[in-house]
Structure 1
C-alpha cells in the first residue's frame, strides 16, 4: 500500500507520521528505504546528480512512473545516462522540488515509485 507523506522541512520528511532525517526511496510495495546516494556521490562527487548506478538501483520491474523530489529548492537532477536509462525502460519521470513532489505522490495512482531528497 502506498504510504501517505505528511510533511517535509529542510532535513526531514514525515511518512505515515514517522519522521526520517535522510533521503528516502519508496518502492512499489510501499516499503521505505534510505536512499543510496553514495552511488551517485562516488561518480559525481555530489548526490545532486543521479548517476546511472543509482538509477539502476532505484528501478523496479513493473514501474511506470518515478517521482523525484529534488530537494526543498530543487537542486537534484538526473544525469544524461540516468535519464536515458529511465526512457529506455519506458518510465515517466517527474522531477519537482520535494514539497511539490510530495503533493504529486499523495495524489498519484498506479505503479509509481519515488525518491525524495530532503535538503537543498
Structure 2
C-alpha cells in the first residue's frame, strides 16, 4: 500500500483518489475519517478529540501519522495527546504532503489519518 499524492481536497492511494479525509488502517484498508467525533465536541474537524483518537488507534499500532492538512491546521486536543501517550503510541503530526512521505517511508506498525483540505 502506497500513498501516491495529495492536492487540496483529495488524496490518491494505490491509484484510487479520495475526495475526503481518510484513515489508513494497519491492514492497509482505507476508510473515511469520522471527523464528526471531533466536530460535535469542538465545532471543527481541526481539533482531534479523544473519541476520534480512540477510533484511530488500533491494538498493535506503535505509530500514528497524522496529515494535518495542506497548510497544517489540524492539531490534537490535550486529551487525545494523553490517550496516545497512555497507549505508548508515537504521534507524528505534519502537513499532509510531509506526512505522506513519512508514512510511506516508515517501517513501524502505523495507522494514518490524512486531512485533505486546509
Q: Show structure 2 runs of 5+ residues with no match.
A: none
SS across alignment from 1:46: coil
> Unaligned 5+ residue runs, structure 1?
none
User: For the aligned residues, what is the CA RMSD?
Assistant: 0.4
Could you tell me the TM-score, scaled by structure 1's length? Answer: 0.97
Task: Please show how residues 69-80 of structure 1 align to structure 2 within 5 Å.
Answer: 69-80=67-78
Give the Å deviation of 1:101.
0.3
SS at match of 1:43: helix
Normalising by structure 2, report the TM-score. 0.99
- Once the two structures are TM-superposed, the CA of residue 54 in structure 1 deviates from its matched residue by 0.3
> Where in structure 1 do 4 or more consecutive aligned residues deviate above 2 Å?
none
Q: Number of residues paired by the alignment?
A: 118
Cα deviation digits, residues 38-58 of structure 1 (max 9, x gap) = 000000000000001100111
1:42-93 Cα deviation digits (max 9, x unpaired): 0000000000110011110010000000000100000000000000000000
